[in-house]
A and B are shown apart, each in its own frame.
Chain A
Amino acid sequence: QSALTQPASVSGSPGQSITISCTGTSSDVGTYNYVSWYQQHPGKAPKLMIYEVTHRPSGVSNRFSGSKSGNTASLTISGLQAEDEAEYYCTSYTGSSTYVFGTGTKVTVL
């Protein structure tokens, strides 16, 4: 159950688009389409942003989108806004009802 690999930090200017990668293995991301993304502001609980690779819960801005290719999933934030500055975590189902989180990515809005 090794953590999925994410870049430690990603930054962008307001209005730009950024992409956060989440690299796993053929035992998790590569096999299952149960990849989710969570946003966490300091001192707050995580918030679901994307589930099942590409689906957005109601209430989440359509500026957030997800995709997957092989063993790597990605979260793209378009039209970056100051409120998007937070930590982002991916998670994947790993089989046998177990899950693993990514290492986390700090998004900075310049």
Chain B
Amino acid sequence: QVQLVESGGGAVQPGRSLRLSCAASGFTFRNYGMHWVRQAPGKGLEWVAVISSDGSNKHYADSVKGPFTISRDNSKNTLYLQMNSLGPEDTALYYCAKDDFWGRWDVWGQGTTVTVSS
């Protein structure tokens, strides 16, 4: 079935880096743009980044522009989020989502938790 599975989350100290992965299955991954969305504990959803189907276009929320890099490997059906210089404000559950068309995010993973604390 159509599925997204995130991994790579964990507890890290401020200033450290982490790379999240999102493994896709059940659909033709290379045909779709993909997003990362995060949710801080007890807070709302925050859009983080998007990457086009071929990986040539990437866009970020102002809050993560610079430290975060979105990428994908279509040969491995996997989406990534490289997060550098992490701060406590980056503590959140990170979801990946499939972009069917212009904000029509029809498939979501279950999320991976990132905790930034000293």
Chain A residues within CB distance 8 Å of chain B: 1, 3, 34-36, 38, 40, 45-48, 51-52, 57, 87, 89, 91-93, 96-104
Contact = CB atoms under 8 A, between A and B. Distances in A.
Chain B at the A interface: mostly helix, strand, loop or mixed?
Answer: strand
Interface in B57-94: 57, 59-63
A99 B50 CA distance: 9
Contacts of B110: 45
Given A45-B110, A97-B50, A97-B59, A51 B103 contact: yes
Q: Counting chain B CB atoms within 10 Å of each CB, which of A57, A97, A99 scores highest? A: A99
B103 A99 contact: yes
A58 to B, nearest CB: 10
Contacts of B108: 45-47
10 contacts: A35-B103, A36-B103, A36-B104, A45-B109, A51-B101, A89-B44, A89-B45, A93-B102, A99-B50, A101-B46
A101 B104 contact: no
Contact of A101 (B44, B59, B109): B44
B46 A52 contact: no
Contacts of B95: 45-46
Contacts of A98: 47, 50, 59-61
Nearest to A92: B103
Contact of A1 (B45, B61, B100, B105): B61
A68 to B, nearest CB: 13
A101 B105 contact: no
Contacts of B50: 97-99
Nearest to B6: A45
A4 B110 CA distance: 24
